[in-house]
Amino acid sequence: MPRFAANLTMLFTELPMLERFAAAAEAGFEGVEILFPYDISATELRRASLSSGLEIVLLNTPPPNWAGGPRGFAAVPGLEERFRRDFERSLRVAQALRARHIHILAGRAEGEEAQDTFLRNLSWAAGRAPHASLTIEPRNLTDAPGYFLRDFDQAATIIGQVGVPNLGLQLDCYHAQMITGDLPGCWRKVAPLVRHIQVAGCPGRHEPDSGSIDYPGFFAELDQAGYRGWVAAEYTPARHSVAGLGWLRRQKAPPAG
């Protein structure tokens, strides 16, 4: 069975951030991810993580103005210095939190210059933090218009071109289904590159037991493939967070008989 992490930016928002750790542990999660943990003391976040027994699995970089602001800068020509400053900040926070992965957001861009910028910035970041696990994630253009990294073949090519062991793929199942219409087929194609997985129902990005994706079948396939990474619940609850966790309880229930 996969190890499940709660995205505390999107789940348990009925509570203050520092109280969400205990709620996630009580619900049965074993880890957490926080998209932008930059407005709360890293010391306090680390203390909450330790007291709840939950590993902090992932954070995003750089920290943008998410409400209508840019979705990262790594592929945006002319903003290399901004990207590097933000990456340095994210690296410091990730080290303080003992976070496992840093997700590098590409941003809105297109064309060969953006491709070259992304490759240079990824190579620089991987060299700057050789012991950190860095991920990139394709996002569908319906939810993220203009986002540079929009295809899994494109992501695989970029990872191959950068060619470093500490850069891998983040498989957001919602985006994969939106982009390809075939999450299992997408997984089988990119599995060797995958470092981290996120789940949500599709369409709607609500609980994983909503929508068209057969998550119990997908989780069984992950087990069969020997996937040892985390699976993070990154969705907007359709109702109260705890009330929507039936999918997790069913997944963690012992087999009948």
User: Token digits for 214?
Assistant: 């057969």
Check if the beta carbon of residue 134 is closer than 8 Å to that of residue 84: no
Which of 54-68, 169-183, 184-198, 225-239 comes out lowest in average pLDDT? 54-68
Within 10 Å of residue 77's Cβ, how many Cβ atoms?
Answer: 16
User: Token digits for 192?
Assistant: 């060797």
pLDDT score, position 1: 87
> CB neighbours of 238 closer than 8 A, spacing ≥ 6?
204, 206, 207, 210, 244
Whole-angstrom distance, CA of residue 97 vs CA of residue 78: 30
Please tell me the pTM assigned to this model. 0.96
Mean pLDDT of all residues in the chain?
Answer: 95
8 pLDDT band (50/70/90 cuts)? very high
Q: Which amino acid is at 238?
A: A
Which of 30-39, 54-63, 212-221, 223-232 comes out lowest in average pLDDT? 54-63
CA-CA-CA-CA dihedral for 140, 142, 143, 147, to nearest 10: 60
pLDDT score, position 257: 58
Residue-wise pLDDT tens digits, 157-181: 999 999 999 999 999 999 999 999 9
Q: Which domains does the chain have, with CATH numbers?
A: 3-252 (3.20.20.150)
Coil, helix or strand for 5?
Answer: strand
254 pLDDT band (50/70/90 cuts)? confident
Mean pLDDT within 56-62: 91
Check if the beta carbon of residue 177 is closer than 8 Å to that of residue 213: yes
Q: Would you say residue 72 has pLDDT above 60?
A: yes
pLDDT score, position 61: 83
Whole-angstrom distance, CA of residue 108 vs CA of residue 148: 5
Check if the beta carbon of residue 103 is closer than 8 Å to that of residue 135: yes
Cα–Cα distance list, 2 to 8, 35, 209 (Å): 18, 21, 16
Mean pLDDT within 5-31: 98
Q: Which residues are catalytic?
A: 137, 234
Whole-angstrom distance, CA of residue 125 vs CA of residue 220: 34
Provide, rounded to the nearest whole percent, the portion of the chain with pLDDT above 90: 92
